[in-house]
Amino acid sequence: MFLDTPIGFLQISASDKGLQMVRKVDMPEHTSPGNDIVEEAKIQLTEYFSRKRTSFDLPLDFSGKSDFMISVWHELQKIPYGCTASYSKIANDINNPSAVRAVGLANKYNPIAIIVPCHRVIGKSGNLTGYFYGLETKRELLELENPKSFAKQGELF
């Protein structure tokens, strides 16, 4: 199933256990019909993009993924709406402070974009760094959640 959003089309799929994928795609393709979890994800994502939802309440299915990646993705879900955390903070919070790069890779391979908010992870310096769908999309999501902190700034004169 696909959802047209302000950042482009999102492809959404789920098993009977939970949501398995939310990913940005260029154009919708033919896909099989979704289930109740997919339909609920579409509703909640629509509310998110309308600024009517600040958290998600959906079962997630990370079957076949490594324990490390799952631990990172669970930690990402603790970052509040409109806030950010650094890669090193996530590594510290999962009791693996030397795993900063591995945290970055877990973010890169996060199969459930937005709902598992890897877009809220930024560099230790506060800079926007790495996002699978590009830094402009990352900025758009952060600006949606916190316009005062992440709005595009005009040129300084």
**Annotated active-site positions, please?**
118
Structure tokens at 108: 């890169």
- Under 8 Å CB-to-CB from 34, ≥6 apart: which residues? 1, 12, 13, 14, 42
> For residues 63 and 123, what is the distance between their CA atoms, to the nearest angstrom?
29
Structure tokens at 83: 């806030």
Are β-strands 2-5 and 85-86 bridged in parallel, bridged antiparallel, or unpaired?
A: unpaired
Number of Cα atoms under 13 Å in the Cβ half of residue 6? 17
Q: What angle do CA 58, 79, 88 make, to 5 degrees?
A: 130
91: left (phi over 0), alpha (psi -120 to 50) or beta: alpha
> For residues 56 and 70, what is the distance between their CA atoms, to the nearest angstrom?
17
